Structure formats: structure tokens, C-alpha cells
Structure 1
């Protein structure tokens, strides 16, 4: 069944589900800046809007737009900065 998640006082919400590729979430983030930690490798795909991302070990933010994917390694922290509401899909491997 589905599992709902809520973070940062409700500014980030997601629904977890199982895919043929593994566990995934579909979610939305409100405008703002957030830091997340990983326990698996995460494949994040922007569905709507755009996401500025600071990946582990990087010094410069990179912008990802609709249907672009970035990969975050296991056991790492990364930051996202949003100028508006943004939807995403995260696949956990």
C-alpha cells in the first residue's frame, strides 16, 4: 500500500510506492531550501518546475529542469533550492 511522508513543516510531501525497478516516491516541494540525507543511491527526476541542487563534494549548484535526473550516492547529504513549487520522482536503489 501507499505510504505518505511529510517533512519541513509540510513544505515537502511525498507518497511512497513500489515499482518494477524498486521503491520510489512521487512528491512536491514548496519554494525554499532543504537538505536531505540518503541511505541508498537515489535517482531524482524533476517532473514539474526546476530544482537547483548542490550534490555532495560539489562547490557549485546545478539546475535541473523537467525530466532531467540527478543521482545522489548512498549515505550522503545534498541540498536543493527551489524558486517555486516543484514535483519530483525519486527511485531508491
Structure 2
């Protein structure tokens, strides 16, 4: 079954699904700054556009472009900045 998710007053929207690899979401972020929290390990893959990310326990921001990925452990918070609509795939473990 496909689930729908909407965050930050509709500025981040995703569709959740389950595949042979586990649970995933595919979505789009509007330009803006966001803080997310995790409940499981996440691998975030940028599909189109780019994300500038401040990962947990770091002080530096790093930009990830289409085709690049980053990982966040469970029970962490991380910050994301996008300057244009950006598509992503998030895989959960």
C-alpha cells in the first residue's frame, strides 16, 4: 500500500512504499530550510536538484547533488537547505 506524507505546511511531500529492500519514501522538497528527525537508520539519495546538509555531530554543511547519498543513524536530527525543488529517495533500515 502507498502512503502519503506531508510536512512543513506542504513544502515537503512524499509517497511511502515497501519493496524487497524494505521501506522507502520518494518525495520532493520546496526551496527552504528544514530540520528532520529519524526513528530508524536512513539513507537519503538525491534524485534531482541538490541538498545542503548538516549531519548530526558535525559543524560543517555539505552539499549533495543528484546521484549522491548520505546516511543518518536512528534517533538523530539533521538539517537540510534546498534552493530549488529537489527530489529524493529515502531508504529505511
Tell me the residue number matched to 2:40: 40
Unpaired runs of 5+ residues, structure 2, are none
Tell me the residue number matched to 2:6: 6
- Structure 1 residue 20, shift from structure 2 partner: 1.1
**Rounded Cα–Cα distance in structure 2 between residues aligned with 1:10 and 1:89:** 18
**Rounded Cα–Cα distance in structure 2 between residues aligned with 1:38 and 1:19:** 20
Tell me the residue number matched to 2:23: 23
Tell me the residue number matched to 1:81: 81
**Aligned residue pairs: how many?**
93
**Rounded Cα–Cα distance in structure 2 between residues aligned with 1:19 and 1:87:** 19
Deviation string, structure 1 residues 12-62 (Cα, Å, up to 9, x no partner): 000000011100000000000000000000000000000000000010000
Unpaired runs of 5+ residues, structure 1, are none
The secondary structure found in structure 1 opposite 2:9 is helix
**TM-score, normalised with respect to structure 1:** 0.99
Which 4+ runs in 1 deviate beyond 6 A?
none
**Rounded Cα–Cα distance in structure 2 between residues aligned with 1:11 and 1:31:** 8
